[in-house]
């Protein structure tokens, strides 16, 4: 980076940090300025390329991490990384093999965001496996940010995506079994959270992210959660960092969780503390949090990562320097473990 660019970046980061502190109403100015100074210092260090993702999807971070090591951009790496799970028939909440809505349709949601702050999203798409790649096409090849339903599907065919039946025999049988009771509670078992969200920093220090899912199993037809909604399911600011969510989308939407985390990091908070604060915004609303799980992962510009969730059981993957690690997340509530 040339000096002028660096100074400009530092000035913007500094302005953001100062603004963030005042927005947050922090009154410990001395401590803040120390935190801000260290945030400045860290912002100058470029980390080794790194990819993190929600849950234990080691194949996805392995793929993304290897690409980053070879010099791929963060955006290429995250889209290729999550494709591993979109194409994994065993994963029942992403891509092919996912759980359908209550009428038996598998509908997928995804979004991407690049280091320039551009984004693309597709909502409630049927018959297309790689919806993260499709969201990228929306970002790069249309004047729009979001395409939904049939429009997104038709756009996919124009772009050369193949039509595929996403409902496997196993999922069809499970759905038919479910129909016998049609027992839908707005409640997620911890084991059901398989949305994959991925964040990466490439060799140039640039950050990109993606989120892809089939949403909640047996959801109402047309229901869309947080995952494809920029700011809720995913947010990236290349000056600051990125965050991505998994879990009960309705509650993430109500608190615009990923944007919140990035703004907290802009104010000087660590990724870990910012994830904790975003979970607190949900849990402090009342005891309903006992019935659902939400987890966030985050990364800042210097490659520090954090994760926090409501209930015990969430893990994230981190690939850096050839090491692919599963990290157990801290959590808010120990009663429901």
Report the binding-site residues for substrate: 223-226, 246-249
**Least distance from C-beta 226 to ligand SD4, angstroms?**
5
Q: Within 95-154, which residues bind ligand SD4 (CB under 6 A)? A: none
Stretch that binds ligand SD4, among 68-76, 110-118, 241-249, 297-305 (CB under 6 A): 241-249
8 Å CB contact between 77 and 53: no
8 Å CB contact between 65 and 51: yes
**Least distance from C-beta 193 to ligand SD4, angstroms?**
4
Binding-site members are 223-226, 246-249
**Residue 249 binds ligand SD4 (CB under 6 A):** yes
Measure the CA–CA gap between 248 and 254, rounded to whole angstroms: 11
Backbone angles phi, psi at 46, to 5 degrees: -95, 125
Nearer to ligand SD4, 203 or 223 (CB): 223
Provide the token pair at 254: 């109500």
Nearer to ligand SD4, 65 or 257 (CB): 257
Measure the CA–CA gap between 266 and 36, rounded to whole angstroms: 9
Stretch that binds ligand SD4, among 120-128, 162-170, 221-229, 263-271 (CB under 6 A): 221-229
DSSP state of 230: B
Annotated catalytic residues are 195
Nearer to ligand SD4, 213 or 238 (CB): 213
Residue 307: partners with Cβ closer than 8 Å, 6 or more residues away: 272, 275, 295, 296, 297, 298, 314, 316, 327, 329, 330
Nearer to ligand SD4, 72 or 213 (CB): 213
Which segments of the chain are extended strands (E)? 50-54, 108-113, 119-125, 146-148, 196-201, 207-213, 234-237, 241-247, 294-300, 305-311, 315-320, 323-328, 330-333
Q: Within 169-208, which residues bind ligand SD4 (CB under 6 A)? A: 193-195
Find the binder of ligand SD4 among 225, 241, 268, 303 (CB under 6 A): 225
Measure the CA–CA gap between 326 and 303, rounded to whole angstroms: 16
**Residue 228 binds ligand SD4 (CB under 6 A):** no
Nearer to ligand SD4, 76 or 87 (CB): 87
**Least distance from C-beta 279 to ligand SD4, angstroms?**
14
- For residues 10, 14, 16, 20, the Cα torsion angle rounded to the nearest 10 degrees is 150
Q: Within 4-63, which residues bind ligand SD4 (CB under 6 A)? A: none
Residues that bind ligand SD4 (CB under 6 A): 93, 193-195, 213, 215-216, 225-227, 246-249
């Amino acid at each position: 980076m040339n000096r002028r660019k660096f100074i400009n970046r530092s000035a913007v980061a500094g302005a953001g940090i100062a603004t963030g502190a005042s927005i947050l109403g922090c009154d410990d100015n001395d401590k803040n300025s120390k935190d801000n100074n260290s945030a400045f210092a860290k912002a100058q260090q470029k980390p080794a390329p790194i990819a993190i993702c929600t849950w234990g999807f080691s194949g996805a971070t392995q793929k993304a991490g290897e690409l980053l090591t070879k010099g791929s951009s963060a955006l290429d790496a995250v889209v290729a990384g999550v494709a591993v799970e979109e194409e994994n028939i065993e994963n029942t909440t992403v891509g092919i093999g996912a759980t359908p809505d209550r009428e038996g349709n598998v509908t997928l949601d995804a979004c991407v965001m690049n280091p320039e702050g551009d984004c693309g999203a597709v909502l409630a798409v049927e018959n297309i496996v790689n919806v993260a790649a499709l969201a990228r096409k929306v970002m790069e090849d249309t004047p729009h940010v979001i395409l939904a339903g049939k429009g997104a599907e038709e756009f996919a065919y124009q772009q050369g995506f193949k039509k595929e039946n996403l409902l496997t025999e196993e999922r069809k049988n499970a759905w038919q079994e479910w129909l016998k009771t049609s027992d839908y509670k707005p409640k997620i078992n911890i084991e059901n959270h398989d949305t994959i969200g991925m964040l990466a920093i490439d060799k140039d220090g640039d950050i990109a992210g993606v989120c892809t899912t089939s949403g909640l199993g047996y959801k109402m037809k047309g229901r869309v959660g947080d995952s494809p909604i920029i700011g809720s399911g995913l947010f990236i600011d290349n000056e600051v960092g990125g965050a991505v969510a998994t879990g009960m989308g309705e509650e993430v939407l109500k608190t615009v969780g990923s944007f919140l985390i990035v703004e907290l990091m802009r104010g000087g908070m660590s990724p870990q503390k910012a994830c904790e604060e975003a979970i607190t915004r949900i849990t402090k609303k009342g005891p309903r949090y006992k019935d659902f799980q939400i987890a966030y992962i985050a990364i800042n510009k210097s490659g520090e990562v954090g994760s926090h969730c409501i209930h015990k059981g969430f893990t994230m993957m981190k690939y850096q320097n050839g090491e692919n690690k599963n990290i157990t997340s801290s959590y808010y509530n120990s009663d429901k473990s």
